[in-house]
A and B are shown apart, each in its own frame.
Chain A
Amino acid sequence: MASAVSSLEKYLEEYDEIKSTLPGQGLDWLVQLRQQGLDQFSTQGFPTTRDEDWRYTNVTPFIKKSFQSVLAKPSTTVLPEQMDHYYVPDCWQVVIVDGHFSNTLSKLDGLPEEVVVMALSDALIKCPDKVKSYLGQAVENEDHGFIHYNTAWFSEGLFVWIPQQVKMKQPLQLVHVVTQENVATATRNLIVAEAGAEGVVIESYFGSQAQAYLTSSISEVFVAENAHLTLYKLQNEASKALHCSGVYSQQEKHSTFNYLDFSFGGLIARNELHVNVGFAAACDLNGLFVGSGRQHFDNHTWINHLQPRGSSRELFKGILDGRARGVFQGCVKVFEDAQKIDSEMHNHNLLLSDNAEIDTKPQLVIYADDVKCAHGVTVGQLDDASVFYLQSRAVSEEEAKNMLTFAFANEMVDQIKVSSFKSYILALLLQKFPQGGIEQEWL
């Protein structure tokens, strides 16, 4: 306990040093917002396993290392060729390296003029009022140490604003890279689709080496009436990283929000997903986590049906090998007047070793009476009959198992509608199955 306090103090001491370098220091409302965040963080600290929602995920030993804010370190130069493999083809890119936006590495040529895509730090200079109307709004009622930390510390982020009726003709990729060791980065993204707008955003998080660091990212997503937003997220952090992210989305009438998450990297990765579904709005939330060694993946999702006639679909799949551990907690809450809700939640897990473990808990909280809600969970090994069937077709046992494991994962990859991103994810996934002889073109 004593050490936890002292590590908290270190974070707070450091804040005084870096405060003046944070973006938006001239904006009173933001200074105030950050101060509130800091105050709450200083009383709460980071969540511990005593918090019900963090029972299975212990970040305390990690946090104790007192990562230094990237702002306290000299910035690094990254060459464009070092970035190549992070770019998903046929996308616009906003690149953040070690907590700073890089103009030279970003690629925004041909972006329609009416669409606003920039670094959050730029947006705070160029259109602070626009930022003000969204920043903090989707997380307003949340009380959570990582949000408060993020609010106080965020150094950068992605700002996307798609005006009414505009359809972005190409996806936008956030490329978030950490190259330094023992640093903490905090990123706040704001993604806004105005009425009738359409867009696809890919958030991708990478680490360049096998280093320990903290990535804290919060995305606030606003999907207005009749707007359609797809958010893909790829977490491929370095092998010793702690990745804590939260996506908070607000959906209005008749809007759709599709979310698809791929968690491959990091040592501990916590994803939170909070979705407020409006009248006759639909959300589709999906995720795949693939872990080995001592990796730990924690997915917490909350779907709130506040209005009638909404629908939600959720499918998270986990593949765990070695001593990897997974957590899935999904909560669907249907409020009193939210009638005619159609909701489905599933979590399927494949445990490839005896030492892998998954804690899964789907939860329905229903206050309305005219709703259709289903949920299902499976935890298991590969089906013996399927392995034998493939063997009887001359495929070796090992290859058969790889094929089946890959097929289990591939169902999620198949959901990607952007072909360049699909190939990108498939290639990453293939690296996770080194000995399978799986050929991409045949899947």
Chain B
Amino acid sequence: MLSIKDLQVKIGDKSILKGISLDIKPGEVHAIMGPNGSGKSTLSHVLAGKEGYTITGGSIEIEGQDLEEMAPEIRAREGLFLAFQYPVEIPGVSNIYLLKAALNAVRKHQGLTEVDALDFLALVKEKIKLLGMDEKFLYRSVNQGFSGGEKKRNEILQMAVMEPKMCIMDETDSGLDIDALQIVAAGVNSLRSEKRSFLMITHYQRLLDYIVPDVVHVLADGRIVKTGGPELALELEQKGYGWIGQVE
């Protein structure tokens, strides 16, 4: 699904990612953990196509296609989705309008017709229920005045509506209360399928209790310094990141 080879990224003159390789197969769930400032969000932004980063080496492919040349909206239409660590507030654009625009852009790209208003409403209402959100959120401006946890949930609502094949979730768990975490995790689990892959960035084992990853990576100072199974996350929770450096 997603294949990253020796990716090197700079912001200005500063090297942030120093050679990252990742191979995520269809249906797999990967988790990335790592200290603050190690480059996790940078990786997610580069994958989504944000400007301001210079790729100085390596490659990124999604289902064999080179990602680098694709505009962000094309990546999204091709099925790559990023749930942001810090979702942006968009005053004046209603949530439901963006959801519809997003879904139709994806459908059009796939050669499908636009959804009609009634079908769309039915679909959105089903998804919003899945995430335990109030329907009122549909008619509010995107993320405007949402609490931290509400924003995170809203990201997953967008993901559920767009049905991407490569879902990247950047610290979706931070800001969610315990109940919300369970609901969101259940929502994500319901999206799991053998054709859909997940890359979850997190600091905490708790999320991984609910969404059990196949592979866990540790990112430190722009490099993947360790890769293991779900038990690696447990170990990190107990010992912190210090010991990995010693292993190196």
Contacts and interface: CB of A to CB of B under 8 A. Distances in A.
A384 B71 CA distance: 14
A439 B98 CA distance: 11
Contact of A443 (B49, B97, B106, B109): B97
Interface stretch (B60-68, B80-88, B191-199, B217-225): B80-88
B102 A407 contact: no
B51 interface: yes
User: Contact residue range for chain A?
Assistant: 20 to 34
A396 interface: yes
A394 B109 contact: yes
B76 interface: yes
Contacts of B84: 389, 392
A403 B76 contact: no
A422 B49 CA distance: 38
Interface in A389-443: 389-397, 399-400, 403-404, 406-408, 410-411, 437, 439, 441-443
A403 B100 CA distance: 13
A54 to B, nearest CB: 33
A396 B49 CA distance: 13
B101 A399 contact: yes
Nearest to A406: B92
Contact of A404 (B81, B93, B100, B158): B93
Nearest to A393: B102
Contact of B93 (A384, A392, A403): A403
Contacts of A386: 88, 90
Nearest to B108: A394
A443 B93 CA distance: 7
A139 B82 CA distance: 59
A341 B243 CA distance: 64
Contact of A389 (B88, B101, B141): B88
A385 interface: yes
B48 interface: yes
Interface string B103-119: 00110010000000100
A388 interface: yes
Contact of B105 (A388, A396, A408): A396
A214 B8 CA distance: 63
B72 interface: yes
Nearest to A413: B92
Given A388-B72, A389-B90, A407-B93, A395 B51 contact: no
Given A388-B50, A399-B101, A394 B106 contact: yes
Contacts of A391: 49, 71-73, 76
Contacts of A441: 117
Contacts of A404: 90, 92-93
Given A385-B88, A386-B88, A389-B84, A394 B73 contact: yes
Interface string A21-57: 0000000000000000000000000000000000000
Nearest to A437: B101
A388 B162 CA distance: 17
A395 B101 contact: yes
Given A391-B76, A392-B48, A396-B73, A443 B94 contact: yes
Residue of A389, A396, A406 most packed against chain B (CB within 10 A): A389
Nearest to B93: A407
Contact of A411 (B91, B105, B109): B91
B51 A392 contact: no
Contacts, number: 84
Nearest to B97: A442
Nearest to A391: B72
Residue of A384, A395, A443 most packed against chain B (CB within 10 A): A395
A406 B101 CA distance: 14
A393 to B, nearest CB: 4
Nearest to B102: A393
Contact of A407 (B72, B77, B90, B106): B90
B92 A395 contact: no
A376 to B, nearest CB: 16
Given A391-B71, A396-B73, A397-B71, A442 B50 contact: no
Nearest to B80: A392
A165 B98 CA distance: 45
A392 B97 contact: no
B49 A392 contact: yes
A410 B142 CA distance: 14
B33 interface: no
Contacts of B94: 442-443
A405 to B, nearest CB: 10
Contact of B96 (A384, A388, A408, A442): A442
A442 B141 CA distance: 11
A390 B96 CA distance: 13
B92 A411 contact: yes
Contacts of B98: 390, 393, 395
A397 B93 CA distance: 15
Contact of A392 (B76, B96, B100): B76
Contacts of A443: 93-94, 97
Nearest to B120: A442
A391 B101 CA distance: 11
Nearest to B89: A386
A437 B50 CA distance: 24
A66 B134 CA distance: 62
Contact of A390 (B90, B91, B117): B90
B214 to A, nearest CB: 25
B229 to A, nearest CB: 31
Given A393-B158, A395-B98, A395-B101, 17 more contacts: A384-B51, A388-B50, A390-B98, A391-B73, A392-B72, A392-B73, A392-B81, A392-B84, A393-B101, A394-B76, A394-B106, A395-B73, A403-B93, A404-B93, A407-B90, A407-B141, A442-B97
Which 3 pairs between the two chains have the least Cβ-Cβ distance?
Answer: A407-B92, A442-B97, A394-B105
30 contacts: A386-B88, A388-B50, A389-B84, A390-B90, A390-B93, A391-B72, A391-B73, A392-B49, A392-B50, A393-B102, A394-B77, A394-B101, A394-B102, A394-B162, A395-B98, A395-B105, A396-B71, A397-B71, A403-B101, A406-B92, A407-B91, A407-B92, A408-B92, A410-B92, A411-B91, A439-B97, A442-B97, A442-B100, A443-B94, A443-B97
